[in-house]
């Protein structure tokens, strides 16, 4: 059994397939006799057209981001500029395959010099060229095979076009030896609903054709498992998914202990879409995500309109709006971030207000205006609070405007002093993504450190427990809004640690709600104790599973 980082949940069992090799083109190619050059040009055009047609066909079957990537690559294959350069080279005697590569090199150099988004297209450009060259050589299409029967794809990592072109009816599972849970491969797999495990060590040892059982929730991959056991695991997961889909809320444990199940949103449309889930409100509205492409600060009126859309989607319900968490992995151009050696440890989140209070003041004004006449008043929380003084100053500004103030607990110092912070605000929300990053001193964006930033780390759970205890002592709510809340087994552990609300991606709501509904509060407590005293994340998962009962997908 191999273990990687879980990226997209689901249990599947099928033979392994591997991407086709990239074609090679001899550097010193022969000169094409003049009489053959016209047919060589025609062959290139035919190959490019065939590749473009195939990519366009896949674009039509795909949706969303995947369709866009594929359509753009199809256009690249028959781009007149690229074909023109290649045809000229053939006219001068270069064979078609070498001409395609040389033309691609020219464009790649140009795109690289242009930098930015253009430079990012170089991988796609080379990928398209490889496909054309393989077509010319009559070789199998490089990149992703299109198997006749459902299969599990094992690869080092996927080119964007390959990931976008996956057909979930035949590629029913994906495992990569590189990548992280936030890599483009994982994001596209999530969009396509393909169970996926990334950063798997030892994946090369599984040969194409070997039957594989892949569990995208636990990150486990078993090669050549007992077929009956594998079929049972898949069936159990199907039954589990059906039970989840039947959960209608509101959130509570099996013995009726209330736990708010909330959703994370990023703008009006995502809040509207989240209404289709049984989530009872919004636990985290990441406002900075609305403004990532802005050069200038949005006006109060503009902000008011956007916040209004989210509040409108959840009329009468709890909505927690997080003030701008700009900086580090989410820089906002208008926030005027200084050049820092360590942006994750720099001026980000609430720290921006210490340099320039205006951005926060104007945002709170906009939220207050959007909330006029609304009951209940929106809850607002500040990201990256490290001290009680920061919480105090934020709370004052929020209360002046009739808003309910809270603090995010994302920094170990804040978890350790949660009680002092909570004296100033009305609630706390634990951001386990950053809390794990800062507790473990491990960049949350680094695939190599994914095991350290695992929210099952007992040290992270201990800080959540301490934060929840502060809430109990002061009689104020404490929730979790990081990715940890989206893991059904971990959600039970968090409830056992004393957390009263869980906010998560819309896609996780049913699974978490259903799981809680079948688990008693006492089981949650025992699972929490077991996880807290475990030596590492894997042991914590195992220990919790023993208490909660094993479900495929844990």
Q: Would you name the residues annotated as active-site residues?
A: 184, 481
Rounded to the nearest 10°, the torsion over CA 510, 512, 517, 519 is 150
The alpha carbon of 258 is separated from its chain's Cα centroid by a whole number of angstroms, namely 28
Between 426 and 483, name the residue whose CB sits nearer to ligand PEP. 483
Nearest C-alpha neighbor of 85 from the set 66, 65, 110: 110
Q: Is 502 exposed, middle or buried (0-12, 13-18, 19+ CB in 10 A)?
A: buried
Between 206 and 502, name the residue whose CB sits nearer to ligand PEP. 502
Query: Distance between CA atoms of 448 and 178, rounded to whole angstroms?
Result: 9
For residue 80, what are its two tokens? 């007149």
Of these partners, ligand PEP, Mg ion, none, which one is at the site of residue 286 (CB under 5 to 8 Å by kind)? ligand PEP
Q: How far is the CB of 153 from ligand PEP (least distance, A)?
A: 29
Beta strands in 72-190 (DSSP E): 151-155, 171-176
Of these partners, ligand PEP, Mg ion, none, which one is at the site of residue 304 (CB under 5 to 8 Å by kind)? none
Q: How far is the CB of 482 from ligand PEP (least distance, A)?
A: 3
Q: In whole angstroms, how far apart are CA 41 and each of 38, 46, 93, 102, 260?
A: 5, 9, 10, 14, 65
- Residues lying near ligand PEP in the complex (CB under 6 A) are found at 284, 286, 325, 410, 431-434, 481-482
Q: In whole angstroms, how far apart are CA 143 and each of 80, 131, 495, 545?
A: 24, 8, 44, 38
Q: How far is the CB of 514 from ligand PEP (least distance, A)?
A: 23
Q: Could you give phi then psi for residue 204, rounded to 5 degrees?
A: -55, -25
Query: Distance between CA atoms of 69 and 62, rounded to whole angstroms?
Result: 10
Of these partners, ligand PEP, Mg ion, none, which one is at the site of residue 125 (CB under 5 to 8 Å by kind)? none
Q: Which residue is nearest to Mg ion (CB)?
A: 434
Dump the DSSP string for 335-377.
G-PPP-S-GGGSS-TTHHHHH-HHHHHHHHHHHHHHTTT-SSP
Q: How far is the CB of 431 from Mg ion (least distance, A)?
A: 4
Helix axes 96-114, 80-91, angle to 10 degrees: 140
Nearest C-alpha neighbor of 221 from the set 262, 174, 257: 174
Of these partners, ligand PEP, Mg ion, none, which one is at the site of residue 182 (CB under 5 to 8 Å by kind)? none
Rounded to the nearest 10°, the torsion over CA 324, 326, 331, 332 is 40
Between 182 and 272, name the residue whose CB sits nearer to ligand PEP. 182
Query: Distance between CA atoms of 354 and 386, rounded to whole angstroms?
Result: 13
Q: How far is the CB of 328 from Mg ion (least distance, A)?
A: 9
List CB contacts of 548: < 8 A, sequence separation 6 or more.
489, 492, 519, 523, 527, 554
Between 49 and 182, name the residue whose CB sits nearer to ligand PEP. 182
Q: How far is the CB of 52 from ligand PEP (least distance, A)?
A: 39
Between 364 and 408, name the residue whose CB sits nearer to ligand PEP. 408
Of these partners, ligand PEP, Mg ion, none, which one is at the site of residue 471 (CB under 5 to 8 Å by kind)? none
For residue 258, what are its two tokens? 């209330």
Between 52 and 265, name the residue whose CB sits nearer to ligand PEP. 265
Q: How far is the CB of 406 from ligand PEP (least distance, A)?
A: 13
Q: How far is the CB of 378 from ligand PEP (least distance, A)?
A: 17
Between 135 and 390, name the residue whose CB sits nearer to ligand PEP. 390
Between 210 and 446, name the residue whose CB sits nearer to ligand PEP. 446
509-515-517 Cα angle (round to 5): 100
End-to-end CA distance of the chain: 16
Between 383 and 552, name the residue whose CB sits nearer to ligand PEP. 383
Q: In whole angstroms, how far apart are CA 354 and each of 301, 342, 350, 399?
A: 24, 18, 7, 18
Query: Distance between CA atoms of 86 and 165, rounded to whole angstroms?
Result: 26
314-315-318 Cα angle (round to 5): 65
Query: Distance between CA atoms of 320 and 501, rounded to whole angstroms?
Result: 12
Q: How far is the CB of 431 from ligand PEP (least distance, A)?
A: 3
């Amino acid at each position: 059994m191999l273990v990687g980082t879980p990226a997209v949940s689901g249990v599947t069992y099928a033979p392994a397939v591997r991407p086709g090799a990239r074609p090679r083109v001899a550097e010193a190619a022969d000169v094409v006799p003049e009489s053959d050059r016209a047919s060589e040009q025609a062959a290139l055009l035919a190959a490019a057209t065939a590749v473009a047609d195939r990519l366009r066909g896949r674009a039509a079957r795909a949706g969303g981001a995947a369709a866009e990537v594929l359509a753009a690559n199809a256009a690249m294959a028959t781009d007149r500029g690229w074909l023109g350069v290649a045809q000229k080279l053939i006219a001068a005697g270069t064979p078609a395959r070498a001409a395609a590569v040389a033309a691609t090199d020219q464009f790649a150099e140009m795109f690289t010099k242009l930098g930015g988004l253009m430079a990012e297209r170089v991988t796609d450009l080379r990928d398209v060229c490889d496909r054309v060259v393989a077509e010319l050589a009559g070789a199998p299409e490089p990149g992703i095979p299109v198997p006749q029967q459902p299969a599990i794809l094992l690869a080092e990592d996927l080119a964007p076009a390959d990931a976008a072109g996956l057909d979930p009816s035949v590629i029913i599972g994906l495992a990569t030896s590189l990548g992280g849970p936030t890599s483009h491969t994982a994001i596209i797999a999530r969009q396509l609903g393909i169970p996926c495990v990334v950063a798997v060590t030892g994946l090369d040892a599984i040969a194409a054709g070997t039957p594989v059982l892949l569990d995208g929730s636990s990150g486990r991959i078993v090669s050549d498992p007992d077929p009956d056991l594998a079929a049972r695991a898949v069936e159990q997961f199907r039954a589990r998914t059906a039970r989840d889909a039947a959960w209608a809320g509101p959130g509570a444990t099996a013995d009726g202990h209330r736990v708010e199940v909330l959703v994370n949103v990023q703008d009006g449309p995502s809040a509207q879409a989240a209404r289709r889930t049984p989530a009872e409100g919004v636990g985290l509205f990441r406002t900075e995500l609305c403004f990532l492409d802005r050069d200038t600060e949005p006006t109060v009126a503009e902000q008011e309109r956007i916040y209004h859309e989210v509040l409108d989607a959840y009329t009468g319900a709890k909505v927690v709006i997080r003030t701008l968490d700009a900086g580090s992995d989410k820089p906002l151009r208008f926030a005027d971030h200084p050049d820092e050696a360590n942006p994750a440890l720099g001026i980000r989140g609430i720290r921006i207000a210490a340099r320039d209070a205006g951005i926060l003041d104007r945002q709170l004004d906009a939220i207050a205006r959007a909330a006029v006449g609304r009951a209940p008043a929106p809850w607002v929380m500040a990201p990256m609070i490290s001290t009680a003084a920061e919480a105090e100053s934020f709370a004052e500004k929020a209360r002046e405007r009739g808003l309910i103030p809270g603090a995010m607990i994302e920094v170990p110092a804040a978890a350790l002093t949660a009680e002092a912070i909570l004296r100033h605000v009305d609630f706390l929300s634990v951001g386990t993504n950053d809390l794990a990053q800062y507790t473990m001193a491990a960049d949350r964006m680094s695939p190599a450190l994914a095991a350290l930033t695992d929210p099952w780390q007992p040290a992270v759970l201990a800080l959540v427990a301490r934060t929840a205890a502060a809430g109990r002592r002061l009689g104020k709510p404490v929730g979790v809004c990081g990715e940890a809340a989206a893991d059904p087994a971990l959600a039970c552990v968090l409830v056992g640690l004393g957390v009263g609300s869980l906010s998560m991606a819309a896609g996780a709501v049913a699974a978490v709600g259903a799981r809680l509904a079948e688990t008693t509060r006492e089981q949650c407590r025992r699972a929490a104790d077991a996880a807290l005293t475990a030596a590492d994340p894997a042991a914590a998962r195992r220990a919790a599973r023993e208490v909660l009962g094993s479900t495929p997908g844990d």
